[in-house]
Structure 1
Amino acid sequence: MRRMPGAVRVLACLLGLWLLAPFVAGLLRLGDADWSGVDRTALARAAGVSVASASLATLLIGLFGIPLGYVLARGRGWWTAWLGGVVQLPLALPPLAGGVLLLFLLGYGGPLGALGLSEHFAGIVAAEMFVASPFLIIAARSAFAAIDPALEDVAATLGHRPGTIFRRVSLPLAWRPILAGLVLAWLRAFGEFGATVMLAYHPYSLPVFTYVAFGEAGLPSMLPVLAPTLVLAALAMAVGHWLARPVARGAVPRTGPLPPLIDRAVAEAPPRHLMLALRRDLPGFTLDVRLDSRARRIAILGPSGSGKSMTLRAIAGLEERAGAQVRLDGRDLSPLPPEQRAVAYVPQGYALPPHLTVARQVRFAVDCVPDRAAAWMAALGLEDLAGRYPDALSPGQRQRVALARAFARRNVDLVLLDEPFSALDAPLRARLRREVLAVLRGMQVLTVLVTHDPAEALAMAEDVVLLDGGRVIRAGSAAAVFARPGSELAARLLGAEAIGDGVVRPDGRIDVGQGVALQVRHPDGERADLPPPGARVRWSARPYQIRPAEEGAYPARILWRGPIQDGQRPMRLLLGDAELEILADPSCMAEGACRVDIDPACLQVWPVA
């Protein structure tokens, strides 16, 4: 047990003792109990009435209260808050006041008095439902609200309709708290007195019988009467505790070697045509993304909070209030719900329902192809984990399960990947990135990848979209965007760190000071599309792209050499007028004059704002 503050332990024990004290006091009076003066037949009949009415009331509360809890957890707007307040009103009322209100409704002369519930078994059930419902509804609302919405979203993109998602995802994940709420509702209904005695004095329930027995025989008759109450309540709590016991999942297995996803080269799939016009207005933020791309793979980069994941969700049809127009190869997807968009969606965190094994996760899609699911499980090394649950998997294994689930579908037009490799260690990330890219190249799908990693975007995507503040600041082919970011913000999003100033020369080179002029070439090998001669520009190269070399093209000076880290030596050098932080080979020359090489195709250039 973890250590606890002493004051917390003392306060907890004091309240526990106070709750236990009445039971101890009752046990001390066992010798005064009048066991012979109790009408056992009437007591048994009253106990039967309470058990039957509480059970029926709890059944009805569960039938209607669980959906109400879900509505309160997922609903939005003033009406949800108002309804949530109404649900809690019976808790704030004295039980007798609740009984009076029920008489106004169900008693003789009331709007529903013709139903004849007063002084009837059905009246007891009605009274118990009124006072006990909040316990189940509040528990269900809290349970549904605690479920990660991504689990339901992914289920929708896998072809499941809302009713199926509720039955197969939401309800199984919420059942433990709901079960606790049902037990509390049953106990509250079983012990209800105030509302029952006002609405349905007859037939006697156990609490009403206890009240009557006390009035006739006094305190000595109470222990025999309370005995069945305590026994039944204890049994109900024991059953609830047994049903809600945790299930052992097993230990997290070691990650073994990952088999290759493909065993031969595949032909590149033809390009797809994606047109987006997305807009969503939120307090303090507006998403406004417009894009027209004819690429197989698109990467979306941007800082946190720029709208990357929201864009992906809008494409999948999960942003209900987004004004979204999505067209793929001329087909308008905008009117279609998520389950009809043929989307393979892998969100951040992978959204694996914790109550499903690996095998059931991979086969969860409505249009899953069993043979394809089995092939993906084998290719991703998941066969030995088929019976495991997500909490017994490593992050890398969960990522593979999410990918297998997405790719096991029969009909997929869009693959949406939201930071799919972020939770993996560097070697596994690089391996899976290469393997998944090889698979995507052979699929007739459009892939949209959200990432923070510029190298990942350059390696996997044909087109790159840069987002900032919910708007596109640069879009185009990956080579063009990386070479000409258009602004310093875009360059930094693309990983630019070594940045300097320069002036465009008539011969197309960049004068960076001290007589140094950098050669610039577009990645396709042609001359760079630079601003006119005389224009001031900013330029950048990645730290590892500036390489000290004895026969280098440009003179420079090493100002500082740092200690070796991860097989590279950080250095600061002066190139022209710019002081640059670079990463060099550990055996690099000492401080002082040197020469450096920079691949002209690696230079990024943009106009000064």
Structure 2
Amino acid sequence: MDSKQNNLKQSGNNIFFGLLWIVFAFIILFLLLLIIGLLTYSDFHTLFDILKQPEFHFALKFTLWTSILATILATIFALPCGYILSRYKLPGSIFLDTILDMPIVLPPLISGIALLIFFGPFLGEHLARAGINIVFTPLGVIVAQWFIATPYAIKTFKQAFTAIDQRMEKVARTLGFSPFRVFFRVTLPLAKNGLISGIMMAWTRALGEFGATAMLAGITRMKTETLSVAVFLNMSIGDIKFAISTAIVMLFIALMLLIVLKMVLRNEVRV
């Protein structure tokens, strides 16, 4: 009787784990087929022809420099936020953490509308007097990318700082290090891998940003045209070949960044 029950139990376990493997294989196959479908829809000759067009060159360069600048700004703002959240028990910490996560939860279009109102009717006139124009300008693209990317950096930086053994910082303090030197000579080096992961994640998010950018900076060809905007613009006018080729380039960029991110995370786990 016990043997029969054990066999039934073992059979049930095999079915359960078999179903897990089926679901896993289905998801992997589905994603691979999506990538293959995108890559095979356009031939390489058409792809290379489109990559030579001035519009594509503008969108690629514009996306790279705006996203890099937005990532630098996100890093500058995320470092103190991540460190404070990991080291101090603040009153209303749940509320503060929720506020910082708001750009992640909100749809990008809603974030863009909020930014448009803030930098338009709310502060627009004051900023214009100072010579700062954000709405419907390249600066608006950077602000939108920064707004969307910063929360991802904050969350990753917070986890990186939390994972540090604080005894190392206390030992450095007993050796005469000032808080400033402890932060830059001990804390940052120990959190290096996690910080790099956060920066890469923020950059990846900034690269693909569309909704908030479209609302705040507008969709203007050869002015505020990122790669995502280029895909939308050309799909809307029926130039599918240009849109698909641009999407393929974005796919390769995203895959390369994700591979680098996974390698960094793997090294972090090993350390």
CA 1:180/1:49 → structure 2, altered by over 3 Å: closer, same or farther?
same
Correspondences of 1:144-223 after superposition (within 5 Å) = 144-201=161-218, 202=220, 203-223=224-244
Find the aligned partners of 2:202 and 2:98 in 1 and give their Cα distance: 18
Aligned residues of 1:140 and 1:177 also touching (Cα < 8 A) = yes
Q: Offset of 1:39 from its aligned partner? A: 7.5
Q: Gapped runs of 5+ residues in structure 1?
A: 250-353, 355-609
Q: Offset of 1:184 from its aligned partner? A: 1.2
Aligned residues of 1:47 and 1:205 also touching (Cα < 8 A) = yes
Find the aligned partners of 1:161 and 1:37 in 2 and give their Cα distance: 56
CA 1:135/1:19 → structure 2, altered by over 3 Å: closer, same or farther?
farther
What does residue 13 of structure 2 align with?
A: none
CA 1:233/1:32 → structure 2, altered by over 3 Å: closer, same or farther?
closer
RMSD, aligned α-carbons: 2.6
Correspondences of 1:103-118 after superposition (within 5 Å) = 103-107=116-120, 109-113=121-125, 114=127, 115-118=132-135
Deviations 1:223-271 (A, max 9, x none): 2222322233334334545666639x9xxxxxxxxxxxxxxxxxxxxxx
Deviations 1:200-240 (A, max 9, x none): 12421111111001111243433222232223333433454
Q: Do structure 1's residue 93 and structure 2's residue 122 form an aligned pair?
A: no
Higher relative contact order (CA 8 A, sep 6+): 2
* Greater Rg over alpha carbons, structure: 1
CA 1:59/1:97 → structure 2, altered by over 3 Å: closer, same or farther?
same
Q: Residue 23 of structure 1: which of 13, 35, 38 is its match?
A: 35
Structure 1 window deviating more from structure 2 (26-35 vs 90-99): it is 26-35
Aligned residues of 1:33 and 1:220 also touching (Cα < 8 A) = no
What does residue 287 of structure 1 align with?
A: none
Correspondences of 1:272-287 after superposition (within 5 Å) = none
What does residue 592 of structure 1 align with?
A: none
Find the aligned partners of 1:21 and 1:66 in 2 and give their Cα distance: 39
Q: Gapped runs of 5+ residues in structure 2?
A: 1-16
Q: Offset of 1:122 from its aligned partner? A: 1.2
Percent sequence identity is: 30
TM-score, normalisation: structure 2? 0.80
Aligned residues of 2:230 and 2:243 also touching (Cα < 8 A) = no
Q: How many residues align?
A: 244
Letter in 1 for 2:113: V
Find the aligned partners of 1:7 and 1:164 in 2 and give their Cα distance: 53
Three-state SS of the structure 2 residue aligned to 1:62 is helix
Letter in 2 for 1:15: I
Deviations 1:87-130 (A, max 9, x none): 111111111100000001112x2224523111211110100011
Find the aligned partners of 1:182 and 1:169 in 2 and give their Cα distance: 19
Find the aligned partners of 1:69 and 1:60 in 2 and give their Cα distance: 14
Relative to its length, the structure with more helix (as a share) is 2
Q: Offset of 1:26 from its aligned partner? A: 1.2
Q: Do structure 1's residue 128 and structure 2's residue 149 form an aligned pair?
A: no
TM-score, normalisation: structure 1? 0.37
Q: Offset of 1:183 from its aligned partner? A: 0.9
Correspondences of 1:355-374 after superposition (within 5 Å) = none
Three-state SS of the structure 2 residue aligned to 1:192 is coil
Q: Offset of 1:71 from its aligned partner? A: 0.5
Find the aligned partners of 2:206 and 2:230 in 1 and give their Cα distance: 15
Letter in 1 for 2:112: G
Letter in 2 for 1:230: L
Relative to its length, the structure with more strand (as a share) is 1
Aligned residues of 1:180 and 1:240 also touching (Cα < 8 A) = yes
